[in-house]
Every structure is written in structure tokens, then in C-alpha cells.
Amino acid sequence: MAVQKRFIAGAICPRCAQMDRIRSWEQNGIRYRDCVSCDFFEQAAIEDDAHDELETRVNREREEQRTDTIQTVRILDPKGR
């Protein structure tokens, strides 16, 4: 059975710096990545343990929003009562 290799959208090769050239696939408990433009190749064991989410601009902003204090809104009467 052939292993299906998938391109990683937006990934930049750490060796040649070309975008959208990295492929990824898994086989026998090992995750592989390679670049179709240069000789970059990497392999890493797949761990079953759940890891913390990598910090990104998006999830950092979500965390900052959670820590904001709650403020009440006061509605002003336009007639000045």
C-alpha cells in the first residue's frame, strides 16, 4: 500500500526557504517531512501524548481576551434624566 504524501499549505522549507514545497506523511509511527525543491528531509516519532498547543499570534490574542476584566456598561438617558 502506497503512503499518501500531502503538501503543507503555507509551509516554508527551513533549508531553501521556498514556500509550499514541503510534503508530510506518516508511516510505522514516524512522521516524515521533505522538500521537493531541495534535499531537506526530517523524521520524528509520533507521540501519543497530547501536547500543549504551540503559541501563535491567534491563540495568544485569545488568551489576552480571556484575562481582560469584565466591565459593566452604563446606558445613558439621552434626555438627561
Q: Which CATH architecture has domain 1-47?
A: Single Sheet (2.20)
Query: What pLDDT, on the 0 to 100 scale, is given for residue 30?
Result: 92
Query: What pLDDT, on the 0 to 100 scale, is given for residue 45?
Result: 86
Backbone angles phi, psi at 34, to 5 degrees: -150, 165
Instruction: Measure the CA dihedral 37/40/44/46, to 10°.
Output: 0
pLDDT in tens, 27-42: 988 999 999 999 999 9
Backbone angles phi, psi at 33, to 5 degrees: -140, 140
Which of 51, 1, 56, 3 is CA-nearest to residue 31?
3
pTM for this entry? 0.54
Where do the domains of the chain lie?
1-47
Look up residue 39 and give its amino acid.
D
Q: What string of pLDDT tens digits covers the 81 residues of the chain?
A: 678 999 999 999 999 999 999 999 999 889 999 999 999 999 998 876 555 666 777 766 665 555 556 778 888 888 866
